[in-house]
Amino acid sequence: MNTKTNNKEHDFFDKLSKEWWDEDGKFSVLHKIRPLRIRYILDQLNNKNIVEAEILDLGCGGGLVSESLAKLGAVVTGVDFVKENIKIANDHASKNNLNINYINQNIEKLKIKKKFDVIIMFEILEHLDDWKVFIMKIKKNLKKNGILIISTINRNVISKISAIYIAENILKWIPKGTHEFNKFIKPSEIHNCLKNNNLKFKDIKGLEFSLLDYEWKLTNNTNINYFCTYEYN
């Protein structure tokens, strides 16, 4: 593993850990898109009841998505490699009387035997040293017919301008230095990797900001941010 890159990622997010639950802070955009993230997850579950569904939230940060799912009745395990993130997530969950199993561990070294109905990886793959190897490993933690839900950023000229130059440097929606363009992932790359690992394509949706309505929306445009879902057969 490239420990230099890993340490760089860790130090970057460690400095931001106290910002997680500040809706006007560094992660304000995550608060704005959280309802869309949850809606997408629920849509992918179709008619399956989320109550008591066992969900693994990888790269859970301060617990924004984990808490939302726990409030809906899911049995949630959240994993993050920043110790302070897990502390903040635990404290916030306790204040809200939520029972969430938070684990402080590098997800690329994660050893967990339990199998889950849903595994979530939101904005995580583009921060890993080798996302393909990681997916091959983590699929073993999916139950039969379980689903893997990913959100990440496409790699093209449009995404480079929008996700880095505009979002980080001009609008400052996310902290500068959050992303590296060469780590962005095309949907076709995910598709080719997962279809070779017994994961069947289920859905893909884009996430974009509408200047007309001044709000985030789910869309069919996957040029920049996108969600995708695969089912383990």
Q: Is the dihedral of CA 8, 9, 12, 15 positive or negative?
A: negative
Residue type, 55: I
pLDDT for residue 4 = 38
Looking at the domain assignment, is residue 34 inside a domain?
yes
Number of domains in the chain: 1
Looking at the domain assignment, is residue 127 inside a domain?
yes
pLDDT for residue 2 = 38
pLDDT for residue 177 = 72
Looking at the domain assignment, is residue 162 inside a domain?
no
pLDDT for residue 7 = 65
pLDDT for residue 12 = 59
Looking at the domain assignment, is residue 72 inside a domain?
yes
Looking at the domain assignment, is residue 160 inside a domain?
no
pLDDT for residue 175 = 75
Residue type, 97: N
Residue 8 lies in domain: 3-152+185-232
Cβ of 97: how many Cβ atoms within 10 Å?
Answer: 7
For residues 17 and 84, the answer to whether their CB atoms sit within 8 Å is yes
pLDDT for residue 5 = 43
CA 68, 193, 109, 145: dihedral to nearest 10 degrees?
50
Looking at the domain assignment, is residue 19 inside a domain?
yes
Looking at the domain assignment, is residue 169 inside a domain?
no
pLDDT for residue 70 = 98
- CATH number of domain containing 59: 3.40.50.150
Tell the residue number behind the tokens 């979002």, with chain if given: 167
pLDDT for residue 3 = 36
Consecutive sets of 10 residues in the chain, 233 residues long: mean pLDDT of each? 50 70 91 97 90 97 97 97 95 97 94 96 94 94 96 96 82 77 97 93 96 91 97 92
